[in-house]
Chains A and B, each alone.
Chain A
């Protein structure tokens, strides 16, 4: 009896798996026919280009057209195209979770759940099933150890307010970057706008992308980054540049970057295949190994020199709140910092 039950279970398993394979084969074939997938992404250019190449190597004959830009610009261009009735984008990927609430409300997303995301933590999943977090990173402090000694270095968000840093800091912009949008919201929720008004007294160098501070700090143009994408700091550090990352104990903003398929995607099957691809364990592991990112996949392991998310105090952001306060945050940031 027990034997036959095992056998039954085994057959069932084989049947499900092979059905899944058949389904996959059909999807691959349909995607090949479309030949291309257009990916609007805010993932750093070297990383998004690398992922496109991984995909193209695995699925020969399907081109990934990467359009990398800052989260807010990705949204701007997607909405401009939509308003003009142009159907160009297949996949939208930004680091501002609020965008996906907006796009969902406007009925611009296709409902699609890739395999395996059920096991992801809650912060990575849209309850309605329209979008899922493909990657996560932190917004951190960083400094150049060639210029700033460890003893002097800022360890907390409040340390950054010290006037000894006047003219020595760089910030990225929430009007461009979704990571910084999330960062500002998280810190405003903890310290209020007062914090940013005080920070602005240090006459910060304003860049746009959350990736740019890494280069600015490494070159020594400004030795302290008051925010920025942790994965890009980490990658820049790994290339041999003088960078030290600080994960403030009071809390680190966690930025989960969702991905979704456009409702009017011109290559829907390639888009689905690409989405399946990036959520597969293999790809998620690549994001962790090669790009320094965190992911929602429970089985992914991380480089030993990166802190574990569970060891940090995280400041998560709520997608609805991000959407509601987007315009306000951009406006106030510009008022405080001048541009």
Chain B
């Protein structure tokens, strides 16, 4: 019993303390209660502009993500498109690529003058103009969508897998052609997933910090997250940052509620778990052009950015062709041997990744177990707390944690523990939902057997249930690990010089324009992520990571 209560209290404290800190700081100061900060946030044109920019950007990111994500999902689930496995893997790679790294790579690809793609365009057409300027609102939206569409993809793909072809057959028997069927039958069935995916992509882009900072700020475009970050400059205005966080928090809450409502109202009764057959649409001769289109889209999020990072890492001058004269390993030797921050940051990043993933999985497992087996009265309300961080953008969480843990009695700032708390909080929903769905699939009777033989609850959990849930829990572990090593939006406010992590070092280097070194560290981050995914897949013996959500 003490274990269950302890975990519960820990979780509730973890979630409530930073939120409480934000509300307190936004409403009270030494001179008492005041709504003045909210008044300032909603009347200052600079802040209003940032809010408007954020809404416009997130809306279009949502729309583009739905178009790309739904198209790809439909193609890999409902058609005879070849190379489905590699395509899924590439979507996964887009998901794993940190958006700030993608944004950085795109500055090298599509800067209006020196960007590799624009140079190529000018070379081919002889034009003086740029094909595409990434330092604009559309540029920012485009790049953010490239790293948000996997959310839509996974939602829509799951639904498409389940819709049986019987319904489509019925429509065709009644005389509908292929496109009418798709429009009147398949589409409405997939609609909740599309809207849900739109909201997820919208929320994801709302909470991003790195991409807007790298692509938006050079063009004078502020978003809510970059504005909150700017408020931390000396002399810091934490109170305003807190007041500015609250609208972001509320917007996220409302959207999640809407998403729940939409997904909840439209029953999936037609979408059976098993039942109907799935028949693939045949493309015939069009298979190859469609495949090329798909690979073209994925080259925007994966191949081109990875290629330019590798090129920049290996050249003295990134904008020049990679000839022998321009080839160098200096960036690597500087990054690994001369630059002191690298080793410290790598150490911190992996330490935090492993710690958070391990403890996060443990806590998530215990919480999921408590709610699933309803161990005490009101246990199911814990679900709410475990999922609460879904509605807290990383930077808002960081504002709360910064206010909460930089002053006595509990000073965590300056150590890696404040980052640990941030990551643990932020990754709890992923760990929890993974653990919960795993437990749902394991019937309690097996535990009951072990308890009848005399084991207590904790022991049966350890010896019976957890081994059965092994691969699900390993998946939870690796999601948390990947989430941690690519985290920037909370880390950027919470790190201190002694507790830098790789993402923060990359951002610092970006501000100084150290292109080669950033590329080296970016490649390292990607390599580590893929190594973990491969190791976990090998270890768990199945495609755990590909079946997210």
Which of A67, A68, A75, A84 is in CB contact (< 8 Å) with B512? A68
Q: Are A339 and B111 in contact (CB under 8 A)?
A: no
- Which residues of chain A come closer than 8 Å to B408, judged between CB atoms? 85
- Taking the nearest CB of chain B, how far is it from the CB of A108, in angstroms? 13
CB atoms of B496 and A88 under 8 A apart: yes
- What residues of chain A lie closer than 8 Å to B267, measured between beta carbons? none
Question: A65–B343 Cα gap in the complex (Å)?
Answer: 12
A92 to chain B, nearest CB (A): 11
Are the C-beta atoms of A85 and B508 separated by less than 8 Å? no
Say whether, besides A45-B514, A76-B232, A219-B317, A81 and B220 are in contact (CB < 8 Å).
Answer: no
Residues in B with CB closer than 8 Å to A219 are: 111, 114, 317-319
Q: Which residues of B contact A338 (CB under 8 A)?
A: 219-222
Please determine whether A207 and B218 come into contact, CB atoms closer than 8 angstroms. yes
In whole angstroms, what is the CA distance A72 to B135 when docked?
Answer: 24
B288 at the interface (CB under 8 A from A): no
Closest B residue to A212 by CB, please name it.
Answer: B513
Measured between alpha carbons, how far is A81 from B515 in the docked complex, in Å?
29
B-chain residues with CB within 8 Å of residue A220 when the two chains form the complex: 113-114, 319
B274 CB–A CB distance under 8 Å: no
Is B543 located at the chain interface by the 8 A CB criterion? no
Report whether A334 and B113 are in contact in the complex, using a CB–CB cutoff of 8 Å.
no
Which residues B7-54 have CB closer than 8 A to chain A?
A: 46
In the complex formed, the residue of B with least CB distance to A331 is: B46
Q: Measured between alpha carbons, how far is A175 from B232 in the docked complex, in Å?
A: 11
Q: Which residues on the A side are within 8 Å of B509 (C-beta)?
A: 45
Q: Which residue of A lies closest to B411 (CB)?
A: A84
Residues on A with C-beta less than 8 A from B46 are 334-335
Contact A327 B235 (CB under 8 A): yes
Contact in complex: A83, B406 (CB < 8 Å): yes
Q: Judging by beta carbons under 8 Å apart, are A70 and B339 in contact?
A: no
Nearest neighbor of A330 in chain B, beta-carbon distance:
B233
Which residue of A has the minimal Cβ distance to B325?
A240
Nearest chain-A residue to B135 (Cβ)? Answer: A205
- Closest chain-A Cβ to B519's Cβ sits at a distance in Å of 13
Over the window 502-532 of chain B, the binary record of Cβ atoms lying under 8 Å from chain A Cβ atoms (1 yes, 0 no) is 0000001101111101000000000000000
Partner of A339, one of B115, B216, B318: B216
Main secondary structure of the interface of A (DSSP, over half): mixed
Q: Which of B319, B339, B513 contacts A211 (CB 8 A)?
A: B513
Smallest CB–CB gap between B511 and chain A, Å? 4
When the two chains form the complex, which single residue of A52, A176, A209, A241 contacts B317, counting CB atoms closer than 8 Å?
Answer: A241
Given contacts A205-B135, A209-B512, A239-B316, contact A84 B234 (CB under 8 A): no
- Chain B residues with CB under 8 A of A335: 46
Tell me which residues across on chain A come within 8 A of B319, comparing CB atoms. 218-221
The reply to whether B111 and A176 form a contact with Cβ atoms under 8 Å apart is no
Given A76-B233, A88-B497: A339 touches B226 (CB 8 Å cut-off): yes
Chain B count of residues within 8 A CB distance of the other chain: 47
The residue of chain B having its C-beta at the shortest distance from the C-beta of A167 within the complex is: B112
CB distance from A20 to the nearest CB of B (A): 31
Assess the A89–B222 pair: CB atoms within 8 A: no
**B161 interface contact, C-beta 8 A:** no
Within 8 A of A (CB), among B67-123: 111-115
A44 CA to B515 CA, complexed, in Å: 14
Q: A65-B340, A84-B413 in contact; A339/B220 too (CB < 8 A)?
A: yes
Bound CA–CA A338/B317 (angstroms): 30
Interface residues of B in 404-434 (CB under 8 A from A): 406-408, 411, 413-414
Give the residue among B219, B340, B497 with the most A Cβ atoms within 10 A: B497
CA of A222 to CA of B221, assembled, Å: 18
Q: Is the CB of B236 within 8 A of A80?
A: yes
Q: Is A251 interfacial (CB-CB < 8 Å)?
A: no
Q: Which residues of B contact A69 (CB under 8 A)?
A: 508, 511
**Bound complex: CA A218 to CA B232 (Å):** 32
Produce 1/0 per residue, A297-318, CB < 8 A to B: 0000000000000000000000
Q: Does A113 count as interface, using CB distance less than 8 angstroms?
A: no
B515 and A215 contact, CB distance less than 8 A = yes
Does any Cβ of B come within 8 Å of A206's Cβ?
yes
Take A65-B340, A209-B513, A337-B220 as given contacts and tell me if A38 and B497 are in contact as well, using a CB distance cutoff of 8 Å: yes
Given contacts A45-B512, A83-B407, A86-B411, 11 further A-B contacts (CB under 8 A): A45-B517, A68-B341, A70-B511, A80-B232, A80-B406, A88-B496, A175-B233, A206-B217, A207-B218, A337-B220, A338-B222
30 example contacts (A-B, Cβ-Cβ < 8 A) are as follows: A45-B512, A45-B514, A45-B517, A49-B339, A65-B340, A67-B341, A68-B512, A69-B511, A75-B234, A76-B232, A80-B406, A80-B496, A81-B497, A84-B406, A84-B411, A86-B411, A86-B413, A88-B498, A176-B511, A212-B513, A218-B319, A221-B111, A221-B112, A222-B113, A239-B316, A241-B317, A338-B219, A338-B221, A338-B222, A339-B222
Q: Which residues of A contact B (CB under 8 A)?
A: 38, 40, 44-46, 49, 52-53, 64-70, 72-73, 75-77, 79-81, 83-86, 88-89, 167, 175-176, 205-209, 211-212, 214-216, 218-223, 239, 241, 327, 330, 334-335, 337-339
